[in-house]
Structure 1
Amino acid sequence: MSTTQETSAQTGHKSGINTPAQVIAASLVGTTIEFYDFYVYATAAALVFPKLFFPAGNDTVNLLSSFAVFGAAMVARPLGAIFFGHLGDRLGRKTTLVISLLTMGIATFIIGLLPTYQQIGLWAPFFLLILRLTQGFALGGEWSGAALVATENAPADKRALYGTFPQLGAPIGFIIANGLFLIINFALPHPTSSVLQSEAFLAWGWRIPFIFSAIMVAVGMWVRVKLNESETFKKAVEQDKVVKSPLVDTFRFHFKEVVLGTFAMLATYVLFYLTTTWILSFGTTTVDKNGLGIPYTQFVLMQIVGVIFFGIFTLVSGPWADKIGRRKLLIWVTVAIIIFGLLFPLFLDFHHGSPASVWLVEAFLIIGFIMMGITFGPMGAFLPEMFPTNVRYTGSAIAYNISSILGAALAPIIAVALWRAAGGSTWMVGVYLAIASVLTLISLVLTKETKDSNYNEELAFEN
């Protein structure tokens, strides 16, 4: 059987055409679940795992250890990008998305069943690390597949708008994950408003969000199994444009695009993990330890308010990018992020724990998440448009996920170290964001506009 016949047989539903509702559901539901799983871990990494999965000792060391395991998933993401990218470019987007979602769901569910350090000693952080790596491996294939499902099924003049649908999974997943933590906090007995002081939460309540993911995965699987393969990929199959080694061809013909795409995402990753993971630790740390001293419940509600703006501006960014171009919009918002980074002390280095500080922190979160939505939304179209159909899954996935090592994996660790080194001030953390954003700005300046690229026809090389 030829490569064309083999691949065509495995894509299935060849004659089916996805409706807009199917495209939105398949791209949005899957990424919502994947990001939910990721955020559940991120929240637990800041609040629970330092106490339950590492030996008792220095609080800062345990927090850094917890964030290190969190960051390990980012290291696994490029491996997942290579594996799932190969499947996606060889066998199709649909099959690959089902596998990645199932992998993530199983790993998250098992984390909810893990014994703690007090029960099995060093095996606890070891198993946590293995499952965290599995989460990262799965997410390495999820985003690109969802972005391709959205954009390859979109009208040519609305690709950026359709590309925002998988991006919306980030704010929605965040709200569901942290909202569930808040519900658990209110439902369980605790002496104060801080979930950190709830014995029931530390004993078993933290497991509920991880176990609950099994229900969400079942819903996501149902949606994706009903999905038809994209017409763009089927056309590549019919024209015998499917390559034997997408990874080799990506680096052979599109190495420049991989590098530029990687750094184009850097500011987005650093901004996001500073305003979600690091800020949660900084905001809920007590004043005597150079934090803001804001109770956990209050701080997460503040974050959720900011994330609502994240979702709104993610969706709004799509039509903007379709109108003025992805590159121009991203350049302007990156400049804004640089300025924002330099203004960190204005928002965060105030009278810790005072009402005025709370309002400034809320303003910080809202502004940060607005810029996050504007920079994250267009990426759903911008990165895939940099690559031709036959290596689009692999190329966009590798760029997206290598950037996760440089940005997401290191951001919480670097931010904690800089915050502690500055004696509780955040100016060094802001400078760190500004430097990352300058690198992104340089990448965008060197990148061509992709708005008018021929998404269905343009294949940059022959087999």
Structure 2
Amino acid sequence: MGGVTYGAFSTMSLAATAERADPAVANPRSRVILASLIGTTIEFYDFYVYATAAVLVFPHLFFPAGDDTAALLASLGIFGAAMVARPLGAIFFGHLGDKRGRKATLVGALLTMGIATFLIGALPTYEMAGWIAPALLVVMRLAQGFALGGEWSGAALVATENAPPGKRAVYGTFPQLGAPIGFIVANGLFLIIAALLPSDDPSRPSQAFLEWGWRIPFLFSIVMVIVGLWVRLNLVESAAFEKTVQKGKVTRLPLASAFKNHFREIVLGTFYMLATYVLFYLMTTFSLSFGRAAPGGPVPGLGYDYTTFVLMMIGGVVFFGIFTLLSGPWADRWGRRRTLIWITLGIIAFGFLWVPMLAAGPVGVMAWLILGFTLMGMTFGPMGALLPELFPANVRYTGSGISYNVSSILGAAVAPFIAVMLWRYGGGSPFWVGVYLSSMACITLVALLLGPETKDVDIER
């Protein structure tokens, strides 16, 4: 960055544009799909590995022994701390993506996430290093959040800016599909390790798992990063960005321009994502705590052992993936706004169904997981097209990234923490957790009713 002048950058970009004009080097559709899918799969894999360990392992290893609930809340607090770093990552990587191009920026985000995740697998525990251990965990977690702040919007732009006419929402679902795939891979790996290192106590991992087994999923991430880098380094820039360069529309300060000219769109995009984020982290992070807590414990839960409940969650996540893909054609046919209004109404209703569904035994719990993850796929899928479409090409990386990641603070950062507090306040009943979800979905509904339809906007504007 520091030694490259704007004029030199423009020359290089125009050279890239000339190269792009040759159909032989244009991004094939299969490469676009794979590049947008594999990167977010790796990023969400890394995030889910942490989310699982935050519930299963870190309360035992990175905090003083004593109050289990306090240790869980502290672990979830560090989990949420990454959300604070995400808007900073969106600003940093958005600036690079809107000025220097999507390709190199995406490579940088992927490397940052991969290195941070790998290093978590090598951290000392509280027993080894005292308070240095959770402090280092916070640093690595902030690095993960910083990277994810730049990853999602770049992957969404690669998909939507290279999509054929009338198919932007369909293409926009492929980076979104990385979330369920990453969840399945991360939790599947944890399940395999837990099966190889079984515990006599279903509420606690085995000693071997706590000593070294939990590190394997974090260290394994480096293999996935190498694959992701190979795919992304073979991309060429999108026509939308190249036309921005050709027309001299590259903004010197994308962040200032986005807030000055598109503040309303940033606010709308932030609240569009609110219900999605709250639902996302309630169904993944909070549900793992609630599902494993003993019915007769200090804060009663469902009492499932880890393996059983994670397998049930994976069954629900399959529906997450299926309905993420189905939501794309619906949003292309009926429009993003109309599709999401109906889905958000469904999320509001779902929040009030928590108590009767969870009280109905294993069948009800499984139905709760399937319905929650189905709604998750339906609301998450169209966001891959909707948020980028709110902004013109010269501030699109920055604008969509800020909306997506500021919403992570309002929704994802606090959702597991608030849910545990409401669960504890309700004496083990999930009623107030469901009410919390419905309340956040009402805010999203208002934003959707106030916002525009973006289905037919010119993506190269």
Using the size of structure 2 for normalisation, the TM-score is: 0.96
CA displacement, residues 173-197 of structure 1 (integer Å, 9 cap, x when unaligned):
00000000001011124335x3723
Map 1:102-251; keep pairs closer than 5 Å: 102-191=111-200, 194=202, 196-251=204-259
Does the alignment pair 1:70 with 2:74? Answer: no
Mark the CA change 1:221 to 1:409 in structure 2 (over 3 Å): closer, same or farther.
Answer: same
State the shift of 1:204 in Å: 0.6
Question: By how many angstroms is 1:6 displaced?
Answer: 1.4
Q: Which residue of 1 aligns with 2:272?
A: 264
Q: Is the 8 A contact 2:203 2:292 kept in 1?
A: no
Aligned length in residues: 450
Matches within 5 A, 1:13-24: 13-14=16-17, 15=19, 16-24=25-33
Preserved contact between residue 13 and residue 245 of structure 2 (Cα < 8 Å): no
Query: In the alignment, which residue of structure 1 is the partner of 2:383?
Result: 379
* Structure 2: unaligned runs, 5 residues or longer: 20-24
1:288 Cα shift? Answer: 1.5
Aligned ranges for residues 78-89 of structure 1 at < 5 Å? 78-89=87-98
For 1:24 and 1:303, the matched residues in 2 are separated by: 26
Contact 2:57 2:205 in 1 (8 A): no
Measure the CA separation in 1 of the matches of 2:197 and 2:400. 43
The residue number in structure 2 matching 1:353 is: none
What is the root-mean-square deviation of aligned Cα atoms in Å? 1.3
Do structure 1's residue 390 and structure 2's residue 399 form an aligned pair?
A: no
Code of the residue aligned with 2:179 in structure 1: it is A
Seen in structure 2, the aligned counterparts of structure 1 residues 8 and 145 have a Cα distance that, compared at 3 Å, is farther
Contact 1:4 1:240 in 2 (8 A): no
Aligned identity (percent) is 64
Superposed, which structure 2 residues align to 1:4-19 within 5 Å?
6-7=9-10, 9=12, 13-14=16-17, 15=19, 16-19=25-28
| 1:402 aligned partner | 406
Question: Structure 1: where are the runs of 5+ without partners?
Answer: 351-355, 459-463
Equivalent in the alignment of 2:35: 26
Corresponding residue number in structure 2 for 1:360 = 364
Which of 392, 414, 436 is 1:432 aligned to? 436
Partner of 2:22: none
Q: CA deviation at 1:82?
A: 0.2
Change (3 A) 1:120 1:11: farther
**Matched residue type, 1:176:** V
Counterpart secondary structure, 2:204: helix
Specify whether residues 183 and 12 from structure 1 end up closer, same or farther in structure 2 by C-alpha distance, changes over 3 A only. farther
Match of 1:50 in 2: 59
Q: Which amino acid aligns with 1:179?
A: G
| 8 A Cα contact 1:27 1:165, kept in partner | yes
For 2:107, the equivalent position in structure 1 comes to 98
The aligned amino acid for 1:416 is V
Q: TM-score scaled to structure 1, two decimals?
A: 0.95
Mapped contact 1:3–1:240 kept (Cα < 8 A): no
Q: Which amino acid aligns with 1:248?
A: A
Given the superposition, is the C-alpha separation of residues 34 and 7 from structure 1 closer, same or farther in structure 2, using an over 3 Å criterion? farther
Alignment of 1:413-424 (within 5 A): 413-424=417-428
C-alpha separation in 2, matches of 1:437 and 1:9? 45
Instruction: Confirm or deny that 1:281 pairs with 2:285.
Output: no
Structure 1: 4+ residue segments shifted above 3 A: 1-5, 10-14
Q: In 2, distance between residues paired with 1:196 and 1:180?
A: 17
Cα 1:129/1:27, change in 2 over 3 Å? same
Q: Deviation at 1:12?
A: 7.0
Q: Distance in 2 between matches of 1:41 and 1:93?
A: 27
